[in-house]
Structure 1
Amino acid sequence: MPLTVLSRSQLRELLHALSRDEIRNLQRNLADALREYSSGSQEKGCSAAYQPQRTAITRQNGCTTLFMPASTGQTIGIKMISLQDGGAAGCAVERDTVNMQEKEQTSSRRRGSFRNSVASISSDLSDLSVGSQEDKEDSNSISPATTTNSSAAGSSTDSSTLLTGCVNQQNVTSNISRTLGAWPGAGTRDTSPRGSVTLLDGESLPFALINAHELTAFRTALASLMMFNRRKKVRTLLVFGAGTQAYWHIRLALVLRGEDIRRVYIVNRSFDRAAKLLQEIYQPENTEWRRDVKFSAVSADFGEYSRVLKEHVRKADAIFCCTPSPEPLFPAEYLTSGEGRQKGRLICAIGSYKAHMAEIHPDILRDEVNLQAAHSHWHKQIHRSGVILVDSLDAALKEAGEIIQAGIKPKQVVELGELLMVRDATREAATVDEEKSLREWAQRGNVIYKSVGLGLMDLVTGGDLVRLARERKLGTTVEDF
Structure 2
Amino acid sequence: MPLFLTDADVEALADLPSAIDAIRAAYSAPVDDARNPGRIFADSGREWMRVMPSVPASGRLFGAKSINGSFADGLRVSYLISLFDRDTADLVALVDGNRVTGLRTAATTAVGAAALVPDRPLTVGVIGSGFEAQSHTAALALVARFASVRVFSPTRANREAFAERFSAELGVPVTAVDSAEQAARDADLVLCAARSRDESPTVQADWIGPNTTVISIGSTTPAQRELPADLIARATLVVADGVDEVVHGSGDMRAAAAAGIDVESITASLNDVLRGDREVDVERGIRIYKSTGSGLQDVVVAETLVDLARERGVGTELPVGIVTTRK
TM-score range, shorter chain: 0.7 to 0.9
Cα 1:71/1:264, change in 2 over 3 Å: same
What are the within-5 Å matches in structure 2 for residues 118-133 of structure 1?
Answer: none
Bigger share in strand: 2
8 A Cα contact 1:267 1:297, kept in partner: yes
**1:201 maps to which residue?**
85
Letter in 1 for 2:205: A
For residue 200 of structure 1, report the CA deviation from its aligned partner.
Answer: 1.5
Matched, 1:216 2:89: no
Q: What SS class does the counterpart of residue 276 from structure 2 fall into?
A: helix
1:388/1:412 contact within 8 Å kept = yes
In the alignment, which residue of structure 1 is the partner of 2:39?
54
Question: Residue 9 of structure 1: CA displacement?
Answer: 2.3
Q: Which residue of 2 aligns with 1:96?
A: none
**3-state DSSP of counterpart to 1:418:** helix
Distance 1:58 1:212, change over 3 A: same
Residue 251 of structure 1 aligns with which residue?
138
Q: Find 1:469's aligned residue among 285, 309, 323.
A: 309
SS at match of 2:207: helix
- Alignment counterpart, residue 32 of structure 1, candidates 21, 25, 32: 25
Distance 1:194 1:278 in 2: 31
Distance in 2, matches of 1:7 and 1:231, equals: 39
1: CA distance, partners of 2:311 / 2:91: 19
> Contact between 1:54 and 1:68, CA under 8 Å: does it hold in 2?
yes
1:297 aligns with 2:168: no
Mapped partners of 1:400, 1:255: distance in 2: 27
Question: The residue matched to 2:214 in structure 1 has which SS?
Answer: strand
What is residue 359 of structure 1 aligned with on the other side?
226
SS at match of 1:9: helix
Does the Cα contact within 8 Å between 1:358 and 1:401 map onto a contact in 2? yes
Aligned pairs, how many?
308
**CA shift digits 1:429-476 (9 cap, x unpaired):** xxxxxxxxx57x125542111110110111112112211221122222
How far off is 1:82 after superposition? Answer: 5.3
Cα separation, partners in 2 of 1:391 and 1:403, compared to 1, 3 Å: same
**Aligned residues of 2:19 and 2:103 also touching (Cα < 8 A):** no
Please name the residue that 1:348 is paired with.
215
Structure 2 segments unaligned to the other structure (5+ residues): 322-327
How far does residue 249 in structure 1 lie from its aligned partner after superposition? Answer: 0.7
Instruction: Name the TM-score, length of structure 2 as normaliser.
Output: 0.81
Q: Counterpart in 2 of 1:81?
A: 67
Alignment match of 1:387 (pick from 237, 240, 246): 237
How far off is 1:68 after superposition?
Answer: 1.0
Distance 1:348 1:334 in 2: 14
Q: How far apart, in 2, do the equivalents of 1:242 and 1:4 lie?
A: 34
RMSD: 3.1
After TM superposition, what 4+ stretches of structure 1 lie above 6 angstroms from structure 2? none
Equivalent residues of 2:54, 2:62 under 8 A apart: yes
Cα-to-partner distance string for 1:255-295 (whole Å, 9 max, x where unaligned): 444xx32322232234455466567x36xxx95xx142333
Tell me if the contact between 1:239 and 1:266 (Cα under 8 Å) persists in the aligned partners.
yes
CA contact (8 A) 2:80 2:94 kept: yes
1:459 partnered with 2:299: yes
With over 3 angstroms needed to count, the CA separation of the structure-2 counterparts of 1:54 and 1:295, relative to structure 1, is same
The one-letter code matched in structure 2 to 1:233 is R
Counterpart of 1:302 in structure 2 is: none
Larger Rg: 1
Match of 1:43 in 2: none
1:61-95 per-residue CA deviation (whole Å, 9 max, x = no partner) reads 6x8642211112643311122579x9xxxxxxxxx
Residue 119 of structure 2 corresponds to 232
2:289 to 438, 445, 449: 449
Give, as a single letter, the amino acid of the residue that structure 1 aligns with 2:287.
V
Give, in angstroms, the shift of residue 49 of structure 1. Answer: 1.7
For residues 241 and 195 of structure 1, the distance between their equivalents in structure 2, rounded to whole angstroms, comes to 24
Q: Is the 8 A contact 1:231 1:444 kept in 2?
A: no
Which residue identity is paired with 2:313?
A: K
CA shift in 2, pair 1:387/1:294, >3 Å? closer
Q: Which residue of 2 aligns with 1:319?
A: 190
**1:402 corresponds to which residue?**
252
Please say if residues 126 and 184 of structure 2, whose CA atoms lie closer than 8 Å, have aligned partners that are also in contact.
no
Instruction: Classify the secondary structure of the residue corresponding to 1:320.
Output: strand
Could you tell me which of 241, 265, 275 is aligned with 1:411? 265
Deviation string 1:191-239 (CA, Å, 9 cap, x unpaired) is 9x75121111123322122222221111111121224335223432222
Which SS does the other structure have where 1:50 is aligned? coil
